Structure 1
Amino acid sequence: MQAFSQLLDRLSLEPRRLAKEALLVRYFQETANPDRGYALAALTGGLSFKNAKPALLRSLISERTDPQLFALSYDFVGDLSETIALMWPEAGRNRPDVTNGELTLTQVVTELETAGKTDVPRLLTAWLDRLDETGRWALLKLVTGGLRVGVSSRLAKTSVAKLGCLDVSQIEEVWHGLKPPYETLFAWAEGKGTRPDNQDPAPFRPVMLAHPLDEARDTGILVAADYAVEWKWDGIRVQAAAGETSSGETVRRLYSRTGEDISRAFPDIVELLDFNACIDGELLIVHDGKVKPFSDLQKRLNRKTAGPKLIRDHPAAIRAYDLLQIGDEDLRDRPFVERRKRLEVFIGTVSDPRIELSPMVEVNGWDEIAAARADPHKLLRSDDAEAVEGLMLKQWASSYVSGRPKGPWFKWKREPFLVDTVLMYAQRGHGKRSSFYSDYTFGVWRRGDAGEELVPVGKAYFGFTDEELREIDRFVRNNTINRFGPVREVEHGKDQGLVLEVAFEGLNRSTRHKSGVAMRFPRISRLRWDKPPAEADRLEALEALLPDS
């Protein structure tokens, strides 16, 4: 555990991506199997301990310290693992019954995976007593699954690829056929073994991503006729794959863009995959032929399963962009113009309208492309137009390659909506931001029963610089008028308060929010120190943006 603890500690303090990658590569080089494999699993979200939950950890620390002191400390620190690691009694390490010797990551993982519910408290207590402060923090991060060290799954896989001459896309091709501790993967990466055998008939194919279009520069360099233009739908990117095993069993899977298998959450889509192919597309909620707001899709995301009522009320559908494989034929090295023609034919053989072809945008030249982006209503019916968040431009000659290559694909999103709001509440962040009030609830004006009042319309925790974060944090501390646990209410009135210009991608009606509206991807655009709160926007201005207004 010591090497793993030091790795997490250094990763949490290192902001640079390449430096994080170097730390990971060195760790994988210097750490033996199976410890390095379990570390990789932890970094990629491949570990889960069903009997070790945050409530249990709170119970353990409450038995060893004053619960009120713990609550105050947790409020200040903002991170459960860090708080417990700091407050756990050091005296436990000196007890004669505490086992000495190195605690390995493999030992922790294997014992937690096999331990019964009543055994877990004993194991965790013994390990916390053995470890130092950093070790306790790393153990608790491992147990809760929230590492929060700024390492994505792709970065961890890239670091494994750097052990030899592999590309990360090669690792992603075989990833879903592997299980921790990934010994065959490390052997392949280091040139000591062959490519792991992946017999999965419906594997995940690493996705191809687009660069944001720089309007001022790219439209003057790129030839518009070289690019296909597609609608960029406001859903989530998915791959729908199906195939047969050697024994004739059909395997059907739905993957997110990161390769997460989300099949169980969308059985209504999986049942439609009656083919031997892999399509790339956008997952949407479509009811009675109308694309519903992203908020409807959110009701089905992050769920392990979906019940009949949820499926009936929020039926899923796919709008297909690309055909990556059909039968045993891999099409990814073919030009997009060919893949598109094959996709059109293929979708024609699919019998259910819930898997349909995403239409091309019929435009010529940059002027028409820009006009379609600015106002999709001219080319689409209203319900579909409201679900468009911009355009995709794909080079007709481009093959399908993993990652984000510069040049073949661009995304040109619509300009965000802007609204002036007033800061109402602030809450401490997590990890590096645990000492700052960095999560902000903001509101706009409306007429209430007692006159003019602010009503919350959203919450944001990014979009500002580190210097702006310090400025807002200082304002929150100096203008707090109420405290509700970890939340501070700040002064907000016609003459006193901080105006935040908020950018967001769209707006939907919501019965869950007091204001009746919900923002899509809100973020702080800029701080309006110059503007009095009385001049912030009104709820009526937001309601006018609702799709059915």
Structure 2
Amino acid sequence: MRGFARLLDGLVYTRSRNAKLRLIGAYLRATPDPDRGWALAALTGAVDIPAIKPAVVRALIEARVDPVLFRMSRDYVGDTAETVALLWPGHAAADDPAALGLAAVVARLSTLGRSEAPAALAWLLDRMTPEERYALLKLATGGLRAGVSARLAKTAFAQAFALDVDAVEEVWHALAPPYAALFAWAEGRGEQPLAADMPVFRPFMLAHPLGEDQVAMDTYAAEWKWDGIRVQLVRVGGQVRLYSRGGDDITAAFPEVAGAFDRDGVVDGELLVKGDAQGSAAHGGATASFNALQQRLGRKAVSARMLADYPAFVRLYDILFDGAEDVRPLAWTARRARLERFVARLDPAHFDLSVLVDADSFAALEALRAGARDAAIEGVMLKRRDSAYVAGRRTGLWYKWKRDPLRADCVMLYAQRGNGKRSSFYSDYTFGCWSEDGRLLPVGKAYSGFTDEELKWLDRFVRTHTVNRFGPVREVEKTLVLEVAFDSVHASTRHKSGIAMRFPRIARIRTDKPAAEADRIETLRAMIA
């Protein structure tokens, strides 16, 4: 565990992407199996210790130190794992140092039930240093937050052993931690693992933001960019998997979609929820807002009521495998023709084809984009007609051109400290707009969009204008107006104001505007598509 703790500590305090790649690569080369395999699994989110939850950790520490001291310390530090690691009393010598190894710890905790796991966790914490405790708690609760995505960890592995990262991605989901076969291949001790006859994930082709440039419409095709989640459907050997953009298996959450995918192949599309009959047929059919899709996300099982209330379907963009044939090397135009034939043989209740935007010039496309305020449209995609389907972002092939954000002037209501590097700053802001009866009601929460200097200014405002405290949350004087940018706004029964913003961020601090002139909730309600 000591080596993993040092790696995690280094990653937390390193901002440079290249430095993170070097740290992970050096660790993987120097650490023996199976510890390095479990470390790679932890960095890619593949470690699951279901019996250890944050509540278990809080109960353990509050039984050993003054609960008030813990809560005050947690509020100051901003991170439960770090607080517990520092406050945990004593440090006993380990009778068997091997029991503190990363692989041994994972093997022990992942096999215990909820009644046994707390005692085992406490035994480990008693015998570890603060750095090791921090790493253990992050590992056990699944919250590493080391600034490392799964893709970056796989890239670090590939670079460490001079492999192609796309080749690693290609076989990743055919393997399980601690990835002995993967490391054997990387070190030349074994053959490359094969993904044949297994429904494995393939890396997505991604798009660059368009920016200020224009493109020729005879070279690029345009499609609507839908506001769902990007998914990949794979069927081979009678098995079907539905993967998210990050490669997570979400088949269980959308069984009706997976069950209806009855043709061998691999397709790329947007997972959406069906809307009412008033949806825009011109854009490709009625779709509900992302708020509806959120009701289905993250579930391990879904009820019949959920299936009926939020019926999911996939709007298909592209095809990677047509049956057993890999068609990724083909040009987009050829793949589109294949996809049209492929979709025609699928169940129309669960699959449809993303329509092309008919624009004979860039100016015409710009006008269509500006006018598209369908509840589920984010903007347009531009795809080079001769582009192969290649993993990752490749300059000049695909572009995304999001519609301009909506904006509203809102009043700051509450603030809360952030996590990690922001744990000393009040950086999470809840804001509201005026109701018809003159009350300020919350309409959103944002923690991005501002510069470091603006963060310091906002933090000072919160500290000097606090009127009430609710644990880690501060209520502030209702005097500061924030210009909030957001992608869309939707009706919501979960919010007192009756609306919810999509992707809100702070666009500007309006010290020049009095709170009484902030926007009204009915103004936001009128923006609902």
Normalization by structure 1: what TM-score?
0.92
Q: Deviations over 1:36-92 (max 9, x none)?
A: 0000011111111121121211111111111111111112222111111111113x4
Match of 1:445 in 2: 434
Match of 2:152 in 1: 155
- Given that residues 163 and 190 in structure 1 are in contact (C-alpha distance below 8 angstroms), is that contact kept between their aligned partners in structure 2? no
Deviation at 1:119, TM superposition (A): 3.0
Equivalent in 444, 457, 468 of residue 482 of structure 1: 468
Q: Distance in 2 between matches of 1:347 and 1:7?
A: 47
- Which amino acid is 1:463 matched to? G
Q: Distance in 2 between matches of 1:370 and 1:282?
A: 23
Match of 2:351 in 1: 355
1:504 aligns with 2:517: no
Q: Distance in 1 between matches of 2:528 and 2:391?
A: 37
- Which amino acid is 1:426 matched to? A
Match of 1:235 in 2: 228
- Write out aligned runs for 1:118-517 (5 A): 118-215=115-212, 218-219=213-214, 222-244=215-237, 250-288=238-276, 290-376=286-372, 385-448=374-437, 452-492=438-478, 497-517=479-499
Q: Distance in 1 between matches of 2:509 and 2:165?
A: 40
Q: Distance in 2 between matches of 1:93 and 1:525?
A: 51
- Which amino acid is 1:109 matched to? V
Q: Distance in 1 between matches of 2:357 and 2:114?
A: 56
- Which amino acid is 1:312 matched to? A
Q: Distance in 2 between matches of 1:284 and 1:535?
A: 37
Match of 1:247 in 2: none
Q: Secondary structure at the match of 2:160?
A: coil
- Which amino acid is 1:107 matched to? A
Q: Deviations over 1:275-331 (max 9, x none)?
A: 111111111101455211110000001111111100100000111111111111000
- Which amino acid is 1:527 matched to? I
- Given that residues 484 and 505 in structure 2 are in contact (C-alpha distance below 8 angstroms), is that contact kept between their aligned partners in structure 1? yes
Question: Structure 1's 484 and 521: CA in aligned 2 closer, same or farther, altered over 3 A?
Answer: same
Q: Secondary structure at the match of 2:334?
A: helix
**Which stretches in structure 2 are left out of the alignment for 5+ residues?**
278-285
What's the % identity of the aligned pairs? Answer: 52
Q: Deviations over 1:385-442 (max 9, x none)?
A: 3321100000000000001111100000000001111110001111111111111100
Q: Deviations over 1:89-139 (max 9, x none)?
A: 13x437xxx536362111111111223433322322221111111111111
Q: Distance in 1 between matches of 2:383 and 2:121?
A: 52
Equivalent in 104, 116, 123 of residue 107 of structure 1: 104
Q: Distance in 1 between matches of 2:245 and 2:113?
A: 35
Q: Which moved more, 1:153-162 or 1:75-84?
A: 75-84
Q: Distance in 2 between matches of 1:375 and 1:196?
A: 49
Q: Secondary structure at the match of 2:218?
A: helix
- Given that residues 276 and 288 in structure 2 are in contact (C-alpha distance below 8 angstroms), is that contact kept between their aligned partners in structure 1? no
Deviation at 1:200, TM superposition (A): 4.2
Q: Distance in 2 between matches of 1:121 and 1:541?
A: 51
- Given that residues 322 and 338 in structure 2 are in contact (C-alpha distance below 8 angstroms), is that contact kept between their aligned partners in structure 1? no
Runs of 4 or more, structure 1, over 6 Å off, are none
CA RMSD across the alignment: 1.4
- Given that residues 109 and 121 in structure 2 are in contact (C-alpha distance below 8 angstroms), is that contact kept between their aligned partners in structure 1? no
Q: Distance in 2 between matches of 1:123 and 1:353?
A: 49
- Given that residues 51 and 117 in structure 2 are in contact (C-alpha distance below 8 angstroms), is that contact kept between their aligned partners in structure 1? yes
Match of 1:59 in 2: 59
Q: Distance in 2 between matches of 1:58 and 1:310?
A: 33
- Given that residues 480 and 490 in structure 1 are in contact (C-alpha distance below 8 angstroms), is that contact kept between their aligned partners in structure 2? yes
Match of 1:77 in 2: 77
Q: Secondary structure at the match of 2:252?
A: helix
Q: Which moved more, 1:158-167 or 1:269-278?
A: 158-167
Q: Secondary structure at the match of 1:237?
A: strand
Q: Distance in 2 between matches of 1:223 and 1:117?
A: 60
How many equivalent residue pairs? 520
Match of 2:16 in 1: 16
Q: Secondary structure at the match of 2:71?
A: helix
Question: Structure 1's 75 and 107: CA in aligned 2 closer, same or farther, altered over 3 A?
Answer: same
**Which stretches in structure 1 are left out of the alignment for 5+ residues?**
245-249, 378-384
Q: Secondary structure at the match of 1:224?
A: coil
Normalization by structure 2: what TM-score?
0.96
Match of 1:380 in 2: none
